[in-house]
Structure 1
Amino acid sequence: MFRKTFRDLRKNWISFFSVFLMSFICLFIFTGIFHLSQQMDATGKQFSQNSHLADSTLSLTTFNDQKEQRTKELTTIKKVARRSIGHYQNDDLSLTFLTFNHSRLSRPQVIHGAKLSDQDGIWLDEDFFQANKYQLGESFLIEKQKYKILGTVRQPEFIYHTESDDQPLPNHKRSGYAYMSESQINSLPVYPTRQLLLKTNKENNTPWLEKELSDIWDADYLRLSHTSDSSGLSIFFDRVTQVQRLAFLFSSLFLLLTLITLEATMRRFVKQQQLQIATLKAQGFSRRTILLHYLSFGVIVTFLGSISGCVLGPKLLSPALLSAIGNQFSVPKWLEVQTTLGYAIVALVTLFSMLITLIPVLPLIGQLPATIMQRQSNQRFKRVWLEQTKLWSYLPFALQWTLRDIQRNIRRAILGVFGALGCMLLLIAALGIKDSIDFSLNSIFNDTYRYEEKISFKKSLDHQEQNAVAKTITTDHQWLEQQSVKLLQDSKEQAVIATIVSDGDQLKLPELDLEDLTANQVGLSEALAKSLNVKAKDTLYIKLQQQIIPVYIKKIVPLSAPQGLFFSENTWNDIGQAFEPQSLLLREKDQLAASPLIASKNEKQQQFKDSQKLIEGILMIVSLLILAALVLGITIMMNCHLLIFSERFIEFATLKVLGFTKREIFLLSFLETALLTALGWLLGLPAGKLFLTAYTAMVSTDQQQYLPHITFQSLAIASLVLFICMLLVQGYITVRINRIDFAVALKPAE
């Protein structure tokens, strides 16, 4: 039996290779992508742990020893450390300056040079240092003041660092961060914010802590923010979540299709082996021996395929993906991780293969040899219901023959339809992801953002300063203010971005005109509305400067970015807030003269290009999924139609004996293949779009919602690929039909 197993595997290698290939692809993609997500997650968490990252940051106008001591005495506070932070910018560089403390809280990791100390000098961001090719010991010039470069550092809060929120892609040559002593930062031309770094207990209640801190610090209190909500860390861990979801969602679909392909392969193989099964039983082989023999086919093939993918995925795929995604993030080094989940999936796939193999084998081995042989002959069927209608006589013979065969073998026909449906579903999902990302970016930069240049100021501008700037502008413009507000729901607080704009259309929201908002009316982004489980005309409560204010949701806004709440200038004023914008949106470029107030100028076209570069790593994974979809699609269809052929080869042999030409038999076979493929194609269109919608919702983040979209071109490509696959499968089936030995095929089994 052992020799028979490998002899049968060799004779039927094409069929079993398809199962091997699918199980290999399934585990190769899953373990490769999942290992990458685990590697990123472990690196980010270890980096934060080594730096003893603070849980929260309390921003203040000034330090006060007595108030700081009262803060330390709070029951929820474990550790407190001081830090000052300020931003410096000129035409050549943009640096965030921080002071270090002798506490271990949020302490940067020194990469090169001297340890942090109170000596005069500066420690530069490692990436900024390398990009500008500085040398340790040389002087770093700021406003004619020289600072000796003592070392380089990395800090997890800046794991993903950009000059501003308007710069989606890091530019290490221009922007970075630096550490220096408290005495030195006061000599810089910056206005530092004072901060207390807080390490809290696990049972900390954030709203209550915020109230206690605001009571202690009173007018000096600015805001309390969670370190994990900082842009660098949140973007990094959002990307980890995206990669994990890519691994699980597509691999689960691949696994399902692999098991269905295995079921079709084993059913066809057992159908061909019925005579041998009967012979083995007649020769006295036990049911257990025969069952183990046929179980071994599925176990050997799926185990070898899945274990190969499990081993090679982390070794080949993960490094390739990390080279595309990892260079966007600043970490000391990427950790090597080991995970057993891939091997657990291998065991699960192997177990499923055994269970699936039982489906066609168990009904046979429990019967007498004579009965098994009889089942190999043609079965007799009654007329199907369609033959009773008047329409039947008007149908051509080929169509009658095809419809009769489909009605008599519904299960087999469903499998053929499913093969085409699965192929179409994979292609639409894979091509649709790229289209959805492109569509979302185009929606942001063409429909929502209608400005050509965005001016960011070093500080918020009051009404007089706005008027002074506006007098120098001749083009259409719109003022923009963005604030972090606390949204209250079910005794929980959530930090969201409030976007406030003046009259104008440089920021245009779909289905909502901000100028129509009155009183306390606001717009709410669709992704945030879904996460909060709220709808239009509901009332939300926000907290501003310790005041709780109700706002009425006038419209749910379906847009990709920005996410959050949307106010008009009038609505913002109506709830008692002063409109003090930090940005100006211009219809035309280069309309504002140089001014000390200006922090940066950002062209929309450059922002669009940077956003495209930002998603190159994700698009690399998408390209891999498209290739996998193509391979799996062909494999699925091939197995499904080979099963149909194995159950109909006696019919084809009979037609040859009756005098049907090769062309006529080809047309009969092609008609059924085309009919089942067309039906699968029709069902695959809505199924693929539903899957795409669910997938884009899963990979969207708090900062950006991907809008599900697939172009007509992608649908046409997916359809063309499907029908090319059908022709390839039909070509192989035709070769098999021409090779039928009808004398053997028609030999009575009994």
Structure 2
Amino acid sequence: MLRKTFRDLRKNWISFLSVFLMSFICLFIFTGIFHFGQQMGITGKQFSKNSHLADSTLTVANFNEPKEAQTKKLSSVKQFAHRSVGRYQNEQFSLTILSFDHSYTSKPQVIRGAKLSDQAGIWLDEDFFQANEQQLGDYFSIDNQRYEILGTVRQPEFIYHTENKDQPLPNHKKSGYAYLSEQYFDQLPIYPSHQLLLKTNKDSNIPWLENELSDIWGDEYLQLTETNNGSGLSIFLDRVTQVQRLAFLFSSLFLLLTLITIEATMRRFVKQQQIAILKAQGFSGWSILLHYLSFSMIVTFFGSVLGCFLGPKLLSPALLSAIGKQFSVPKWLEVQTTLGYAIVAVITFLSMLITLIPVLPLVNQLPAVIMQKQSTQRFKRVWLEQTRLWSYLPFSLQWTLRDIQRNIRRAVLGIFGAMGCMLLLIAALGIKDSINFSLDSVFNDTYHYQEKVSFKRPMSAQDRHSTVQHLTSDYQWMEQQSVKLLKGSKEQTVQATIVSNGRQLNLPEIELKNLTANQVALSEALAKDLNVTAEETLYIKLQQQILPVSIKKLLPISSPQGIFLSQRTWENLKQPFEPQSLLLKEKNQLAPSPLIAGRSEKLQQFKDSQALIEGILTIVSLLILAALTLGITIMMNCHLLIFSERFIEFATLKVLGFTKWEVLSLSFLETTLLTLLGWLLGIPAGWLFLNTYVALLSTGQQQYLPHLSFQSLMLASLVLFACMLLVQAYLNNRINRIDFATALKPAE
């Protein structure tokens, strides 16, 4: 029986190749993507651990030793460190400058040069250092003050560092960070923020800690931020979660399709085998059952093991080169995981269970009963034949509809093959459409400005007036800051965007200037996280104040995310409007000023955003290839099963005098009809899957909007029907090679 197993595998290798490919692709994609996600996660975790990264950052107006002593005595605070942070910017570069106090908390890792010390020197961001081709010992100038470059560093808080939130992609040549000792930091011409870096107990309650700190610091308390919610780390952690979700989502779909392919392949193979003859020759039911289980076990096992081995070797490095370069880490760590091989065992076990479906009903029956069932099948007239419409249908359509109604399970399998192919194609092509649609929505519909000017300090009313008094084009002031939204016991830190009258920030379905009293708008994605609806009341927690606001509208917006207020609403809440940026309708309208920190062009932001999604599009390209392979494989298996159950009918039609083209047209009609039904069902199924896929790709900073263009829908449809024609061409070849004598020989 073992020799027969390998002989049958060799003779029917084409039939089992599809199962091998499906299991290979399933594990190749899963292990490749998941391994890369693990590599990112472990690298980030180890980077944070080596830097003794603080758990939270307390921003205060000024340092105060007595209050610091009280803070240190809190039960949830284990240790803390001082740090001052400021931003220096000129026409060539933007540099975030930090001080250090020799504490181990949030200590940057020195990559090259001397250790951090009180020397009169500077330690530059390693990426900024390399991009600008600096050398150790060179002098770096900040506002006419020269500092010797003593070394380079990396810090996990800047693992994804951009000049501001409007710059979607790191530009290490123009933006970076640097460290100075406290003595030399105080001499800089910048506006610093004073921070306490807190290491807290694992079970500490952040809202309770926040209340304690606000009581201690009083008016000097500004904000408490969890380090993982910082812009750099949060983007990195979101991307890790995003990658791992994609691994499970697509592997689950591929696993389902693999099991369906196995069932179709084994059902067709069992029909070609004479189980009755094996039983008549004395083979036991157990030996026959193990014989057929071995097919799925061997093919699935070797396919999935090969995919499990090659995924981390080939796919993970490709993803690392596309996505990993966006992040700044000392080095990417190698990881080893046994999860892939556990999935191999699961897939192999499930494939053996699926094989029982066509085999188990036969192995326990007598040989005569098995043969009788194969030769004495009888069919009744189907319900459609009782209608008046039936007599008006052509014979080919009558024959096809009768066959479909008598073999519903077989027809469903054929429909599912086409639907699965269409679903994968829509998901693969649709995600690219969704990303492009979301970017177009942001930069064409939401952002109407051409240039965004950022300032070194919040602008007072007098500063604003003197800045714009000579402007001839439209403009709009914008203030952005982090606030906490409260809904019941749930608390979430979000970005509040406050704008003056104008249309440079054009929100969908609402005009902020028309809002009255305490009315605000909220992005739909954030509303979903908070489980709130329009007309509900939320509370904004700002320093020590809790302010009630009414949600006027939920916005279907891709970016920016958060809560949106007009200047009038903000001032109604007794808050000063002190914007940090100015949105201009035309570029280069604002004259140079010492207050200007930087300028961002919308066109460059759009190009950077497109570069940012390069890694995602790499996965999309892979999925398009997988969709083509799996689509052809699924449809081939489904229609070969139909052929294996109908080759006697084809032979009979030939003997009765039907021409070759008439027989082939009957087969083509059924294939086309089943594919058409699968296409119709695949469109809504693909759209639902695309919505799920897009939701997993979205992050707290960027919500992608599901979209499928007409061109992509037509392309997916053309590919589906091209796959159908390839399958039909193979079926035509099989029909032409039918041996009449073998096909029409009675089973008994």
Which bracket does the TM-score occupy, shorter chain normalised?
over 0.9
Shift of 1:374: 2.1
Aligned ranges 1:211-222 → 2 under 5 Å: 211-222=211-222
Aligned ranges 1:505-544 → 2 under 5 Å: 505-544=503-542
1:575-630: CA deviations, max 9, x gaps?
11111111111111111000011111111010000000011011101110111011
- Match of residue 260 from structure 2: 260
- Match of residue 355 from structure 1: 353
- Match of residue 588 from structure 2: 590
- Match of residue 178 from structure 2: 178
SS of residue paired to 1:213: helix
**AA paired with 1:210?**
E
- Match of residue 423 from structure 2: 425
CA distance in 2, matches of 1:493, 1:362: 56
1:548 to 546, 549, 557: 546
- Match of residue 387 from structure 1: 385
1:369 to 367, 370, 394: 367
Aligned ranges 1:621-632 → 2 under 5 Å: 621-632=619-630
CA distance in 2, matches of 1:343, 1:532: 38
CA distance in 2, matches of 1:545, 1:63: 17
CA distance in 2, matches of 1:139, 1:165: 30
> Residues 490 and 530 of structure 2 are in contact (CA less than 8 Å); yes or no, is this contact kept in structure 1?
no
- Match of residue 40 from structure 2: 40
- Match of residue 441 from structure 2: 443
- Match of residue 303 from structure 2: 305
2:313 to 291, 305, 315: 315
CA distance in 2, matches of 1:602, 1:483: 18
CA distance in 1, matches of 2:82, 2:163: 24
Aligned ranges 1:631-670 → 2 under 5 Å: 631-670=629-668
Shift of 1:143: 2.3
SS of residue paired to 2:559: coil
1:735 aligns with 2:747: no
**AA paired with 1:248?**
F
2:747 to 726, 746, 749: 749
1:642-675: CA deviations, max 9, x gaps?
0000000000010111111110001000000000
- Match of residue 209 from structure 1: 209
2:615 to 614, 617, 625: 617
CA distance in 2, matches of 1:346, 1:328: 32
1:12-34: CA deviations, max 9, x gaps?
11110010001100100010000
CA distance in 1, matches of 2:305, 2:601: 50
> Residues 191 and 457 of structure 2 are in contact (CA less than 8 Å); yes or no, is this contact kept in structure 1?
no
- Match of residue 398 from structure 1: 396
Q: Where in structure 1 are there 5+ consecutive unaligned residues?
A: none
CA RMSD of aligned residues (A): 0.9
- Match of residue 455 from structure 1: 453
1:516-539: CA deviations, max 9, x gaps?
110010101000011111111111
> Residues 423 and 686 of structure 2 are in contact (CA less than 8 Å); yes or no, is this contact kept in structure 1?
yes
- Match of residue 240 from structure 1: 240
CA distance in 2, matches of 1:178, 1:660: 84
CA distance in 1, matches of 2:449, 2:294: 65
1:107 aligns with 2:98: no
> Residues 475 and 504 of structure 2 are in contact (CA less than 8 Å); yes or no, is this contact kept in structure 1?
yes
CA distance in 2, matches of 1:103, 1:448: 44
1:547-577: CA deviations, max 9, x gaps?
1111111111001011111101111111111
- Match of residue 334 from structure 1: 332
CA distance in 1, matches of 2:497, 2:613: 25
- Match of residue 93 from structure 1: 93
SS of residue paired to 1:245: helix
CA distance in 1, matches of 2:340, 2:528: 33
1:574 to 551, 572, 575: 572
CA distance in 2, matches of 1:219, 1:363: 79
Shift of 1:462: 1.1
> Residues 221 and 543 of structure 2 are in contact (CA less than 8 Å); yes or no, is this contact kept in structure 1?
no
**AA paired with 2:471?**
I
SS of residue paired to 1:581: coil
> Residues 117 and 181 of structure 2 are in contact (CA less than 8 Å); yes or no, is this contact kept in structure 1?
yes
CA distance in 2, matches of 1:146, 1:439: 47
CA distance in 2, matches of 1:447, 1:97: 35
Q: Which moved more, 1:501-510 or 1:670-679?
A: 501-510
SS of residue paired to 1:621: helix
2:683 to 679, 682, 685: 685
- Match of residue 283 from structure 2: 285
CA distance in 1, matches of 2:234, 2:244: 15
Normalized against structure 2, the TM-score is what?
A: 0.99
SS of residue paired to 2:46: helix
- Match of residue 73 from structure 1: 73
Shift of 1:205: 2.0
CA distance in 1, matches of 2:359, 2:71: 72
1:328-386: CA deviations, max 9, x gaps?
00000001111111111111100011101111111111111112122222511111111
- Match of residue 82 from structure 1: 82
SS of residue paired to 1:375: helix
Aligned ranges 1:434-513 → 2 under 5 Å: 434-513=432-511
Normalized against structure 1, the TM-score is what?
A: 0.99
**AA paired with 2:321?**
S
Q: Where in structure 2 are there 5+ consecutive unaligned residues?
A: none
**AA paired with 1:233?**
L
CA distance in 1, matches of 2:591, 2:146: 29
CA distance in 1, matches of 2:61, 2:536: 36
